[in-house]
Amino acid sequence: MVFGGLGVAPGPGAALPAFLAVAAVGLVLAVVDLACLRLPDPLVGAAALGALAGLVAAASVDDRPGRLLGSLAGAALAFLGYALLALLPGSRLGFGDVKLAAVLGLALGWLGWPTLLTGLVLPHVLHGLAVLALLVTRRVRRDTLLPLGPALLAGAWLAALFAQTP
């Protein structure tokens, strides 16, 4: 479903291999985060490398280096924004989430600023709804630690699916 959705999405175009690489590693990251509440650096690094290599190739094929600059700016914005959130007192956001947000910002930056911003905000809505449902059904307590990685990945995927071609 993840790969098929990206395959038919209008936004990625020549960058589809980069998006598929991030999605492949992202699926593993989601499972690991759910099981261990961790996003291992080697996996996040592999996603970053796949995204960067694919986007550099796509920028070369499309002869649009400006889109690559947009991707790098998206990664920087995502990293800085999430790092600030992680540093807030009482924040439960880990730096694995910050690094993953930067990788997702790299990919989403390719699709333009509206998609990037959607992909950075939507995970919090998804996570909030999931937490609320778990609290209402008494499956967790208020002090239960829950992973954000799966919501980050799902939000980025949804943003990419509905992105308009820049």
Domain containing residue 145: 2-161
- Which residue's entry shows tokens 């002869």? 63
Residue 128 has pLDDT above 80, yes or no: yes
Q: What is the mean pLDDT of the chain?
A: 94
pLDDT tier for residue 142 given thresholds of 50, 70 and 90: confident
pLDDT confidence band for 66 (50 / 70 / 90): confident
pLDDT value of position 162: 92
Total number of domains in the chain: 1
Tokens 């790299």 sit on residue: 106
Question: Among 51-55, 106-110, 137-141, which is the least confidently predicted range?
Answer: 137-141
Tokens encoding 60: 């070369």
Q: What confidence score (pLDDT) does residue 11 get?
A: 83
Residue 10 — pLDDT band, cuts 50, 70, 90?
confident
Q: Which pLDDT does position 20 carry in this prediction? A: 97
Q: Give me the pLDDT at residue 56, please.
A: 96
Q: Are 97 and 86 in contact (CB under 8 A)?
A: yes
Structure tokens at 54: 């694919």
The reported pLDDT for the residue numbered 12 is 85
Task: Answer yes or no: is pLDDT of 165 > 80.
Answer: no
| Torsion angles phi and psi, residue 51, rounded to 5 | -65, -50
Q: Is 166 within the bounds of a domain?
A: no
Token pair of 3, please? 């790969």
The Cβ-side half-sphere exposure at 2, using a 13 Å CA radius, reads: 17
Per-residue pLDDT, averaged over 131-153, amounts to 92
Residue 155 in any domain: the answer is yes
Is there a contact between 163 and 111 (Cβ–Cβ < 8 Å)?
A: yes
> Does the residue 80 lie in any domain?
yes
State pTM to two decimals: 0.93
Residue 166 pLDDT greater than 70, yes or no: no
- Sign of the CA dihedral running 33, 39, 42, 44: positive
